[in-house]
Structure 1
Amino acid sequence: MSKIMSVIKNNSGFILFLFALFIVRGSIFDWHPVPTGSMKPTILEGDVIVESKIAYDLKLPFSDTTLMRLNEPERGDIIVFSSEKSGKRLIKRLIGLPGDKVQVTNDQIIINGKMATYQKLPMDDPRIPAVAPDRDNGFYALESMPDMDEHLIIIDDTKYNPSRDTVAIVVPEDHYFFMGDNRDNSADSRTYGTAPRSELLGRAFGIMISIKWLEDYTPRWKRFFSSLYL
């Protein structure tokens, strides 16, 4: 017992740091490596994104038990959620809010009868990540709505995608409709349906580090500590 107490005493600073990190990651901030390209070009394979776990709800640390609602999700938020229907943790953009009538036509969203605004970009546009055009087909565009800030999406019109067109649905109360920015390479609410608020884990807001996951694992220095929003 004396040896254990001695170890604790000699390493008290480090133990306190680990305890604080445990509490922070359990209830305030978390980070996740992203292995897929469903949110390209906003999030690339190999990005490690950071989320605020108290953006919407205060939850019991390391649980799905909500103690208090803090804020309401907004259209355009990039949200981390635990999807029961897919059996995975997903990172997608919030498109449809509770009560919205949502339809997708040729990869373009229509909310309550109003289509989002789209601006096709040239491949040398500085807002497109330099690493993105090398492997992606189709074209890049800026998507926006009056209540949704503009963001980049990819539309791959070179391949068949059964989710490119959907029937109109009304988002149920306390549910949300999500889509990936890589419109033709994303399994989202077009596949799994809407997600209940209880599955929301937090709002992703930045990239902590980034490596070339599919290539040589070298760092993408320019993406370190960058924002996910334009």
Structure 2
Amino acid sequence: RVVIDDDYATTYTFLAGPTPTQYTLASGLPAGVHKLVLMKETYWWYSSVFHGFEVTGPGLVEPSSLSGFRFECFGDSNAAGDNIASEDNSSGTGQYFSFPFIAARAFGAEMHNASTSGETISGSHGRFDRYGWWPGDPAWDFSLYTPDVVIVELGANDVGTLTQSEMIADHNEYLDDLRATYPDAHITLLNGAGWSFDEPANYTASLVAARNDPNMSSIIPPWVFGQWHGTENEHAGM
């Protein structure tokens, strides 16, 4: 995704090819200083290699300093922005307008979003310390990125497979390891209501309360979600 001068109305996406290719991101801009954001919008096709920018004109100005505030999210397809631009769940997958990145921009924070479609509690638990999606991928070096806030949005894909007690047990095992990894981070569990009688939102608040961790919270948006993945409107509300 390319965003020029924070103009979200004209933002656009393009598909990067499998070989090193030069892409024109912007041209014909009026004289003056401009801001460009380039972001890998989806988690599909594993990873991309960024080789650098080529800028014509006077060149680059010194970028504004980052706030130093960092977010991280471990979630499923909803947090990954699946079908976010479609009210009938048919298209428009992307993370830029998903709630993790909306929240990060609101705080001027960096965001690592380790969310994938179909993710379960135990699945994310088995991958959170890996460089990539596959369990055999190299171990991630946690010293490279230490979040101040960790968002966990999981459990929807466990409904129908695990009992509520089993989901709570999986969540607690995962939270134990997240807390050991990030002893100073604020950890919040987020789940939406309205799509299943057995949804994780039923127990999210009580699970957090039972852990008695003063630096842990739960978030349940105060509305009933639509039939499918959250839309941009629902992500903005979250």
Measured against the shorter chain, the TM-score band is under 0.3
Q: Which has the higher strand share?
A: 1
Q: Which has the higher helix share?
A: 2
